[in-house]
Structure 1
Amino acid sequence: MEKFFEWEYRFMMFLQNSIRGPLQNKVMWCITSLENAGFLSIAACLALLLQPKWRRVGEAATVSMILEFLVVNLLLKNWVARVRPYHLLEDLILLVQEPADYSFPSGHTGAAFAVASVMFLGMPHSIGVPALIVASLIGFSRIYLGVHFPTDVLGGVVIGCAAGFVAWKLTGGKLR
């Protein structure tokens, strides 16, 4: 199984040794900080709930965040108990404060994709696509900063999108 994950180690060391730089580090820190404690996702839910035209989307986005939180933070992180990459890769330099929980799946990524996927399903693509792009940047920032393995982020994407889809259907949203 260790052979399967070897590509993650190589990719993370490539990012550190070939892509990281002072400007990129600041940009990635800012991007990841947007989703600290779910801030951007919660703000998006509140903004949508306050606008009558987008209230149903806001309801679905809120439900998606709750579902994502339950699955990621209360179930999978503790059940899988995957160690963070900076604990396993001796040469990897962590660029943010050390998180207190486990690595799999990425909660930042899951929350961002839970809300972005609902926005993609319920709003014009001129809003939904940029929301998915921002969620992708948040996920990438988690790898770049050394906090998550790529498969942690991929898990967050899958769970976030699934939570978004389920929430959209539960709240009566229709697919186009």
Structure 2
Amino acid sequence: MLSGLIALDGGLLLWIQEFIRVGFLNPFFVFYTHLGDFGLLWIGASLILLCFKKTRRAGALGLLALALGTLFTNVLLKHLVARPRPWLTVEGLQFLVVEGDPNSFPSGHTCAAFAAAGAWYRALPKRWMGITALALAALMGLSRLYVGVHFPSDVLAGALVGLFSAWLARRLGQRLPILGEESGNHGGL
């Protein structure tokens, strides 16, 4: 069962390399994936949201979700699972970005993206803002596959851990009076 998943993961990456990767898109995906390094895109956006009264709660929840996601992904799971990066195991894979961390599971970039977007989704004042954040999070996950630094199951796990972190941040946020009331209420996440 596990060997079948590993083979499917590698096959999907090779398929992406063969049929999805297009030379003129490479600079965009390399740039976008680097925006997620250390969660900088999501931390920066959360800090900007903190500056405005209508989005302050979304920014605070985003930062809390990012902290939880980092704890779950980069501190705990990556070291417990210790799955090697695809370029170390998939024959013929050409990666576009070099990662210093040899551990692949789950994707920290994807976790951060979905932690922030999931936290913002219900807290932002307009539904389209939350949907846009989730679309950008999905694009981050795709970028990690496109540049060849994660397996599809790494990205899926990162998204799930990120969404769990967002949910937990919202639950904790309900108990912290400093975070105030929710301004948006879009259901779902």
TM-score using structure 1 length: 0.95
Letter in 2 for 1:155: A
Letter in 2 for 1:40: L
Task: Give the distance between the partners of 1:28 and 1:108, measured in 2 at CA.
Answer: 13
Aligned to 2:34: 33
Task: Give the distance between the partners of 1:41 and 1:71, measured in 2 at CA.
Answer: 17
Q: Is the 8 A contact 1:77 1:101 kept in 2?
A: no
Residue 132 of structure 2 aligns to a residue in which SS? helix
Q: Which consecutive residues of structure 1, in runs of 5 or more, have no partner in the other structure?
A: none
User: Is 1:4 matched with 2:18?
Assistant: no
Letter in 2 for 1:66: A
How many correspondences in the alignment?
A: 176
Task: Give the distance between the partners of 2:113 and 2:44, measured in 1 at CA.
Answer: 11
User: Is 1:93 matched with 2:94?
Assistant: yes
Aligned to 2:160: 158
Percentage of matched positions with identical amino acids: 38
TM-score using structure 2 length: 0.89
Task: Give the distance between the partners of 1:98 and 1:148, measured in 2 at CA.
Answer: 10
Task: Give the distance between the partners of 1:166 and 1:42, measured in 2 at CA.
Answer: 18
Aligned to 1:84: 85
Letter in 2 for 1:3: G
Cα displacement string for residues 23-60 of structure 1 (whole angstroms, at most 9, x for unaligned residues)? 12112112211111111111111011111221111111
Task: Give the distance between the partners of 2:127 and 2:41, measured in 1 at CA.
Answer: 19
Q: Provide the alpha-carbon RMSD of the alignment.
A: 1.3
Aligned to 1:129: 131
Residue 150 of structure 2 aligns to a residue in which SS? coil
Query: 1:21 Cα shift?
Result: 2.2
Task: Give the distance between the partners of 1:168 and 1:44, measured in 2 at CA.
Answer: 18
Structure 1 runs of 4+ off > 4 angstroms?
A: 173-176
Aligned to 2:119: 118
Task: Give the distance between the partners of 1:147 and 1:157, measured in 2 at CA.
Answer: 15
Aligned to 2:178: none
